[in-house]
Structure 1
């Protein structure tokens, strides 16, 4: 995407890019971009510090090497919540610590990552039964063998997924060398600032934070508003109990903080033609969703994303965000997450289309503008086929020359489709 982007009041932008406004009509390509991508910061006791990208398949097969625990371990519960519906996670480890280590004779073994999990690593050095003078150096994580290699000297050993080896000279037998000294630190307050700075360089659909610190929540809200409204980067952020954000880019989960990661994954994985309303929660937590009808009404009016219980299962009450202050230019349609997904997809995909194929490449004449219009129209026709929007025709879009020779002005009228939520039925008995 180009350096420029965001919204505009007048045609006075300096940076090349796509500037797109969405407003409600006052009342009396191109392919769709990938969805299913989350960005999240977590405190962990194993794994690389900073940002890494993990695919769903990699998490299932390489969880132990990446995060120190088996996929089914209870420590991976939150990660499983994310990946129930997400395809990819940009994961930022917020905390550090000390690396576990052990020295025996000529050999020093150091955990690959900082954290208390390194203390569960043990090294066994046993004589090789086939080659005299050589040893099998085995790395155990807990009770499971994680790596084995045969060598005569320390210098021959190579780093594996869990430890690195250093030193010089011949190996000697050792029944069990337990690494010690590994510590897991608590994330400093500045860690979230660093995380958001790193997140700014990534592409994702959903940002998530499940903590209760009000200052950190506000940090996420301000970051989201700036990225959406000033930078033109369209994503939504899922927080726990922060309806005060009153913004279409913030989803406030009101039922339980444990459900934030599931909501983030489900939101990221939902297509532009899908709503989460009435979706069954298929995660592992048990939330208290037995509220009075009046409490549900109050929660909806306050912009809370709530769950309700039916037949022993949790379901999403309404797929809404925290926007509650409606205006003529931003009405109640913008409180629907399905509608926002459609609008965000249009903004991201059209901006990517423009940057990739037109910015600096296509002449700003009638022919060039007609080509751009045709591509945007084709993209919207794809959205119509998916039932993400309706009744879009060529007359609903204009592409004109702007105030300067380099400017292109696009105006369109779009009608997002939402899911059925309320049934009003009148029965006349005769």
Structure 2
């Protein structure tokens, strides 16, 4: 969200921008933006260091070896395969990117990390021209490329190595790259990621960590970004209560040996990021590659719902999502039961992000704050909400539910906005009369 943003108590903001509150109703030209965007910090043996990098679903399938150092089917990419079952775009950051690059006489790995140690250079005399050499680069036992050159200065760098242009080429049966190391993963590495990801637009932030201090860091970041900055996304983590609608707390661990117990965060991050604004993840089948621990009693499942835990359970031979819920458990007049449902949060986040974008790109510093300008803003918000109603994300919407008035200063406008969110069916009660 550009410039100022977040919630407000009184109309006393300094930065120009869009400030939006969502509260529960008392009991008795705008387009809808796309979903599918996730952000995650990762521990990797290969890849860019020190910066956020973008990977699409298509790029992951086609170029996983170039980006992450492994073929798509390699077990090292199991978590990312779970994520990209649903996510369309990942903003990734390498937590352990501060290590050393592997190197040998002829080349240096493009990225730091232990995966560089799996590369090997083989040089042979060219059979057609004895003055030239065939220089081949291998990763494990797979040949990445072969270049035919006279001197090292002619070698072109590629996606894996930078060639040492001053090296003397001689035939060799194979010289491995050595000395590649991964950096240290600590709180400072996670903070560096959060500092860099702050300016990116995404739907879900996921963190695979079993460290409670790291989880607390991400929870506090999410609360600040949602409530003070106005960046509307949800955080997915495992095994940490937050009592906050912006945090999805996965209950289940995984039984897989050697895998972090919080590995289901990959799948939930992708599924929640891609879940449409008019859909729910409730009852979704887990189709990932981990083995969730699901040996819960009926009473334990009921308690998990009351505790605000996103839980997988077993139905027959299939593992499904019990309830698409977030970690909010303390209900108030401002945040009632409806705020516990992630479908509700998707709808209000969609509204916040879309209207903020509309205001920033079309109205901020451009449209006069007079009756005509306010009518134009009113009409755009009405049109946006009518689109939500068409796809059955909200219901019973009337243009009378939107009001746009001048605020307490001549530069501000105040928007009144009433919506009724549509949720998917979760329970059926049936009475059968038997004659």
TM-score (norm 1): 0.97
Report the counterpart of residue 58 of structure 1 in structure 2. Answer: 59
TM-superposition CA deviations, 1:249-281 (whole Å, max 9, x none): 000000122211100100000000000110101
Report the counterpart of residue 94 of structure 1 in structure 2. Answer: 95
- Please show how residues 197-216 of structure 1 align to structure 2 within 5 Å: 197-216=195-214
Q: Is the Cα contact below 8 Å between 1:239 and 1:252 reproduced in 2? A: yes
Report the counterpart of residue 412 of structure 1 in structure 2. Answer: 417
Q: Is the Cα contact below 8 Å between 2:69 and 2:115 reproduced in 1? A: yes
Q: Is the Cα contact below 8 Å between 1:209 and 1:239 reproduced in 2? A: yes
Report the counterpart of residue 347 of structure 1 in structure 2. Answer: 352
Counterpart Cα distance in 2 of 1:344 and 1:47: 32
Answering whether residue 245 of structure 2 is matched by residue 251 of structure 1, we say no
TM-superposition CA deviations, 1:27-71 (whole Å, max 9, x none): 253111121011100111111113100011001011001110000
Q: Is the Cα contact below 8 Å between 1:111 and 1:163 reproduced in 2? A: yes
Report the counterpart of residue 343 of structure 2 in structure 1. Answer: 338
Q: Is the Cα contact below 8 Å between 1:43 and 1:186 reproduced in 2? A: no
Report the counterpart of residue 39 of structure 2 in structure 1. Answer: 39
Answering whether residue 126 of structure 2 is matched by residue 128 of structure 1, we say yes
Counterpart Cα distance in 2 of 1:82 and 1:337: 18
Counterpart Cα distance in 1 of 2:132 and 2:154: 11
Q: Secondary structure at the match of 1:355?
A: helix
How many residues align structurally? 425
Report the counterpart of residue 387 of structure 2 in structure 1. Answer: 382
Counterpart Cα distance in 1 of 2:123 and 2:414: 70
Report the counterpart of residue 237 of structure 2 in structure 1. Answer: 239
Alpha-carbon deviation of 1:173? 1.4
Compared with structure 1, are the counterparts of its residues 143 and 25 closer, same or farther at alpha carbon in structure 2 (3 Å cutoff)? same
TM-superposition CA deviations, 1:190-221 (whole Å, max 9, x none): 00000110110211000011211011000000
Q: Is the Cα contact below 8 Å between 2:206 and 2:236 reproduced in 1? A: yes
Report the counterpart of residue 363 of structure 2 in structure 1. Answer: 358
- Please show how residues 261-276 of structure 1 align to structure 2 within 5 Å: 261-276=266-281
Which segment drifts farther, 341-350 or 417-426? 417-426
Counterpart Cα distance in 1 of 2:237 and 2:186: 19
Structure 2 regions of 5+ residues with no counterpart?
A: 254-261
Report the counterpart of residue 432 of structure 2 in structure 1. Answer: 427
Counterpart Cα distance in 1 of 2:414 and 2:200: 28
TM-score (norm 2): 0.96
Counterpart Cα distance in 2 of 1:384 and 1:24: 19
Alpha-carbon deviation of 1:2? 2.5
Select the residue among 224, 227, 231 that pairs with 2:225: 227
Q: Is the Cα contact below 8 Å between 2:124 and 2:134 reproduced in 1? A: yes
Counterpart Cα distance in 1 of 2:167 and 2:314: 65
Counterpart Cα distance in 2 of 1:247 and 1:354: 27
Q: Secondary structure at the match of 1:101?
A: coil
